[in-house]
Chain A
Amino acid sequence: DTGVSQDPRHKITKRGQNVTFRCDPISEHNRLYWYRQTLGQGPEFLTYFQNEAQLEKSRLLSDRFSAERPKGSFSTLEIQRTEQGDSAMYLCASSFSQVNTGELFFGEGSRLTVL
């Protein structure tokens, strides 16, 4: 299967620890997005990349969050000094900008639980 894959699928951590999530997009897709979703809410935009360039980052995003896409392929999302409010599903999506219809292809998400 060549869909978007995310790892780990579930992470449980203690408050104050750092966590890192990885996303592997569909191979020919040059755009990669990170979203956060909490129960009963829709996906909330965090950041996105075109190739290796981070083009936009949500103003609501704490400085504890950082994302990278060093070679324009996979991406990592790191959360430092986790807080209970960070508990959520972290979604990765990819797309092909040349098609530019805006359709996103989502992974199954990485669920974070902060104790």
Chain B
Amino acid sequence: GDSVTQMEGPVTLSEEAFLTINCTYTATGYPSLFWYVQYPGEGLQLLLKATKADDKGSNKGFEATYRKETTSFHLEKGSVQVSDSAVYFCALHTNAGKSTFGDGTTLTVKP
């Protein structure tokens, strides 16, 4: 079945540090790939997405590139801020209609 594997957390960084959160997936067909973010006390919300191979999704300074050859969708940001502290979930969505999520990576950014 479909699965998503995220790097284990938690991740603690200083402000302005570079962030990478690794995500790899297993799926039949050609899924769409997503990063969702959950800020403290809030629901999950979409951060960025890519719907086909080599697409790059970007939002709020975060980027991720859909790599079909390595089945990966790693999340990166060049300079994190305290306000980026949250839980980040990698997910895939197939034509079957449902999404599969990773277990999440907790990011804490210290001033």
Hey, which bits of chain A sit against chain B, CB under 8 A? 4, 31, 33, 35, 40-45, 48, 50, 55-56, 91, 93, 97, 101-109
In the assembled complex, B84 has its CB within 8 A of some CB on chain A: no
* B99 touching A102, Cβ below 8 Å: yes
* A101 touching B101, Cβ below 8 Å: no
CB-CB under 8 A from A104, the residues of chain B are: 36, 44, 46, 93, 99
Shortest distance from the beta carbon of A22 to any chain B beta carbon, whole Å? 16
Which A-chain residue is minimally distant from B100 (CB atoms)?
A: A45
Q: Which 8 A-B pairs have the closest CB atoms?
A: A102-B93, A42-B101, A108-B43, A106-B44, A102-B32, A106-B43, A42-B103, A43-B101
CB-CB under 8 A from B66, the residues of chain A are: none
* A56 touching B42, Cβ below 8 Å: no
Report the bound CA distance from A67 to B94 in whole Å.
22
B: interface residue count bin: 20 to 34
Question: Across the A-B interface, how many residue pairs have beta carbons closer than 8 Å?
Answer: 65
Shortest distance from the beta carbon of B101 to any chain A beta carbon, whole Å? 4
CB-CB under 8 A from B49, the residues of chain A are: 101-103
CB-CB under 8 A from B100, the residues of chain A are: 45
Report the bound CA distance from A101 to B93 in whole Å.
8
Shortest distance from the beta carbon of A23 to any chain B beta carbon, whole Å? 12
Other-chain residue from B34, B36, B43, B96 in contact with A109 (beta carbon distance below 8 A) = B43
* A43 touching B89, Cβ below 8 Å: yes
Report the bound CA distance from A56 to B34 in whole Å.
21
Other-chain residue from A33, A42, A45, A103 in contact with B89 (beta carbon distance below 8 A) = A42
Report the bound CA distance from A107 to B102 in whole Å.
19
